[in-house]
Structure 1
Amino acid sequence: MEILAFGVQDDERPLIERAFAGEHEVRCVDVFLNGDTAAIARGYEAVSTSVNADLGGPVLQTLAAGGTQFVAQRSTGFNNIDLDVAERLALTVARVSSYSPYSVAEFAWTLAMAVNRRVVRAANRTRDFDFRLEGLMGRDLRGRTVGVIGTGRIGEAFTRSPTASG
């Protein structure tokens, strides 16, 4: 099967190519799927898209008219896909069903610690050979209360992060 992957970033390209090596031919393009670019998919049975794709009715109709039967979105969200039109056109649509809440929670902790310890300001100053400590004092989080708004999978992982004291 030949697959056309839209909106592929430089860091994704080798991963996508390796994932399909020996199984399917994949062509990666850096343009996002939308009304202006959908015709590029003519002749491709499967299309892979990024979260930035426009998968509204007109785009889905263009894909189906060009022979596309399967659309796989490389993200968990699907609010950009007109599922009713896809069903009417007999297009199979897939998406990433889940992802690691721990990676998002740990990244959130990283950002919180960077803000608390003023890491960006310190790095910028160091790059400029400015080694003053003024304005760089952070605070210990130990013994403090951190509020978490939202306790879905990511919020729960955040509260259980190894970085969290407790």
Structure 2
Amino acid sequence: MSPNTLKIALAASVALNLFAVAAGVTVMVGQARVENRVESQHRGPRVPFRMMLESMDPTVRDRVRQELRATAMASRPDFDEARTARRAAITAAAAEPYDADQVRTLLEQSRTAELRGRSRLENDAVTVLGTLDVDDRRALSVILARNGGRNGRHGRDRKTLREAPATPVAP
């Protein structure tokens, strides 16, 4: 074989391999999207907290909203502490000299604070649910989901979150 023929064969081989890699990536991304869609359909529709409360008697609705808001406000320092410790762990991990024990300690503090806040939210939500009739309890029970029934990763935008009643969800 001549050198030109080898160069052409090599170029064709590289082009074919690039095409195969691109096709494989496309298939994997498409499969991940399909799996996400199927998973979201199995979870059912997400209902905003306000809509969950609409069907309730106004006095019950106001009481539930106030109690859950108070719980969220009481839990806020725990979640603030968790975020602060996590940020400190990130900073410590990037610092020189690297101190793995300090990073582990900060991450443990972050997890402990987050679990403390989540526990408070969940326990108080269970208490509030116990005061409701069966239909209201059924409608509001989704607040116990780990994602809190929020849309997307962070749910609504920050402006909407400030205006909306507090829900017992972790940041």
Q: Give the TM-score, by structure 2 length.
A: 0.20
- Which structure is richer in relative contact order (CA contacts within 8 A, separation 6 or more)? 2
More helix by share: 2
Return the index of the structure with the highest Cα Rg: 2
More strand by share: 1
Q: Give the TM-score, by structure 1 length.
A: 0.20
